[in-house]
């Protein structure tokens, strides 16, 4: 199965190099291992993440695309849908099938027709429109819900309880 996964990842990498979505750069960490990628995501305009460049790591299973990759930010990220350790929590990265908690429909979850590009575009969308009802980071979710205007986090209100300062979150995240 790893041969099919490698072939698919090579094809997706080729496609991304030919026609990468604006604000996204992604590829394998090395030519020897196509199962571990780094992606740079530019923060969406009109959000607290605007102007930032955020590094992420994707690790693909040997049975990709039957199973989704794991994704995490390699920098500090204060966001309702990012666990404190950087893991990304969005439906497209959840294993295929029915949600045991009944929150997501199977159509929202991973399927083999998804791609690296769709994952990265979903993360950009997640940065622009956090889902505070399905929070991976309870503090960020609460802060988001407590906001009286807009749909984005106000990073200027971050305090000593969080590990991310506004400058870290809005300029450049580094490992």
Distance separating alpha carbons of residues 138 and 9, to the nearest angstrom: 34
75 part of the active site: no
- Catalytic one among 26, 71, 89, 92? 89
* Secondary element (H or E) of residue 142: helix 138-146
Compute CA distances 89 → 24, 82, 146, 159, whole Å. 19, 6, 21, 23
Distance separating alpha carbons of residues 65 and 1, to the nearest angstrom: 10
Strands of the sheet containing 33-42, edge to edge, are 24-30, 33-42, 53-59, 70-73
Q: How many CB atoms lie within 10 A of CB 43?
A: 22
- Six-digit token string for 101: 């908690």
Active centre residues (catalytic): 89
């Amino acid at each position: 199965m790893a041969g099919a996964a490698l072939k698919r990842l090579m094809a997706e990498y080729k496609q991304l190099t030919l026609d990468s979505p604006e604000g996204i750069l992604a590829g394998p960490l090395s030519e020897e291992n196509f199962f571990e990628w780094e992606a740079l995501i530019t923060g969406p305009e009109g959000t607290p993440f605007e102007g930032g460049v955020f590094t992420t790591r994707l690790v693909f299973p040997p049975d990709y695309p039957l199973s989704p990759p794991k994704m995490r930010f390699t920098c500090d990220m204060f966001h309702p849908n990012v666990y404190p350790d950087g893991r990304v929590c969005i439906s497209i990265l959840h294993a295929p099938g029915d949600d045991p908690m009944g929150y997501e429909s199977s159509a929202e979850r991973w399927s083999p027709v998804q791609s690296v590009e769709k994952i990265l575009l979903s993360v950009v969308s997640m940065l622009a429109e956090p889902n505070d009802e399905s929070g991976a980071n309870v503090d960020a979710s609460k802060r988001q819900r407590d906001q009286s205007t807009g749909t984005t986090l106000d990073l200027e209100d971050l305090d000593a309880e969080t590990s991310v300062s506004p400058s870290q979150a809005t300029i450049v995240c580094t490992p």
